[in-house]
Chain A
């Protein structure tokens, strides 16, 4: 069945560093979504991608929809403490509207 493989599982970075994470699938997706979850809260949509090759920015965040439609990347530039949290990728399952979710990338900023 469709699955999303998200990597890395966790990242320890210094404040000010750039961050890159990705999501891959063996199946084609027509939409890629990136969410961020703060502890104890619901995930918040960061970026939605709808077209192969699309590159979209939201402030310091940039996400790309891979050309093969089987992957997506999220980059965060010049990380700051409030970037800490779990980042999830998601995409809709074929034809039944249910979202498939990656396992998440936990971002931790070293003091």
Chain B
């Protein structure tokens, strides 16, 4: 089975721009979770989608949004980028309790 894929792997944006990140889960998995990880920090939960509906949400501002498509692929969007949004964004897919992660998208905001 193919693993979780994320595109792009690296991205450089400037303040005020918006960005869209993509995640393709493991085939058959219907849950996709997104996390933000800044250097030296743990995993900060953004949100989780299941069957195209947001099922859980973390404590991030409304500039962070996401969606899930009928094929379970998910996108997250960050609008009006700030310098502090520079981070590794991780996507994880799940068919139960266990989450399987993609390689992440490294976003740098200049």
List the interface of chain A (C-beta within 8 A of B): 31, 33, 35, 40-45, 48, 88, 90, 92, 96-99, 101-104
Is B102 within 8 A of A42, CB to CB?
Answer: yes
A43 to B42, CA, bound (A): 11
A101 to B98, CA, bound (A): 12
Closest to A33 in B: B98
State which of A45, A92, A101 has its C-beta within 8 Å of the C-beta of B43.
Answer: A101
Assuming the A-B contacts A40-B104, A42-B103, are A97 and B56 also in contact, with contact meaning beta carbons closer than 8 angstroms in the complex?
A: yes
Assuming the A-B contacts A43-B101, A45-B100, A104-B42, are A97 and B90 also in contact, with contact meaning beta carbons closer than 8 angstroms in the complex?
A: no
A33 to B102, CA, bound (A): 17
Given contacts A33-B98, A99-B33, A99-B99, 6 further A-B contacts (CB under 8 A): A31-B98, A88-B43, A97-B50, A97-B55, A98-B45, A98-B48
What B residues does A96 contact at CB under 8 A?
55-56
Smallest CB–CB gap between A42 and chain B, Å? 3
What A residues does B104 contact at CB under 8 A?
40-42
Smallest CB–CB gap between B105 and chain A, Å? 10
A101 to B88, CA, bound (A): 16
State which of B43, B100, B103 has its C-beta within 8 Å of the C-beta of A41.
Answer: B103
Is B97 within 8 A of A33, CB to CB?
Answer: yes
What A residues does B48 contact at CB under 8 A?
97-98
Can you list 29 A-B pairs, Cβ within 8 angstroms, ordered by A?
A: A31-B98, A33-B97, A33-B99, A35-B101, A40-B88, A41-B103, A42-B4, A42-B92, A42-B102, A42-B104, A43-B43, A45-B99, A45-B100, A48-B97, A88-B42, A88-B43, A92-B97, A96-B56, A97-B50, A97-B56, A97-B94, A98-B45, A98-B48, A99-B33, A99-B45, A99-B97, A101-B43, A101-B45, A104-B42
A41 to B89, CA, bound (A): 10
A25 to B4, CA, bound (A): 29
Assuming the A-B contacts A40-B106, A41-B103, A97-B48, are A102 and B97 also in contact, with contact meaning beta carbons closer than 8 angstroms in the complex?
A: no
